[in-house]
């Protein structure tokens, strides 16, 4: 059976071998990717498209339902009501 110090030395050797193998494989992968990009004339946009195509998180604007006649401020009726409409009859502020 191996001693503790021998096992630690083996681990150091293995970690160095893992590091070297990883660097070698990364270099091969980068070379392969560069070859494919050159072969097909790809651009960065082709490979890494921007996230602008995702419209599911964009919410449509809601039309205002209420207007303050003195200031012209509007409110959609969603969320916390503004101070100018709190505690009042909303019917007199409805936008027709």
pLDDT recorded at residue 54: 59
What's the mean pLDDT in 7-12? 96
74 with 64: CB under 8 angstroms? Answer: yes
Mean pLDDT computed over 20-39? 97
Q: If you write DSSP's letter for every residue of 23-68 in order, what string do you get? A: HHHHHHHHHHHHHHHHHHT--HHHHS--GGG--TTPPPPPPP-EE-
The gap from C-alpha 21 to its chain's centroid, in whole angstroms, comes to: 32
């Amino acid at each position: 059976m191996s001693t503790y110090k021998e096992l630690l030395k083996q681990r150091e050797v293995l970690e160095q071998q893992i590091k070297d193998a990883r660097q070698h494989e990364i270099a091969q992968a980068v070379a392969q990717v560069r070859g494919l990009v050159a072969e097909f004339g790809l651009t960065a946009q082709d490979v890494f498209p921007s996230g602008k195509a995702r419209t599911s998180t964009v919410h449509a604007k809601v039309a205002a339902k209420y207007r303050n006649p003195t200031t012209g401020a509007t409110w959609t009726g969603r969320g916390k009501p503004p101070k100018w409409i709190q505690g009042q009859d909303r019917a007199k502020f409805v936008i027709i």
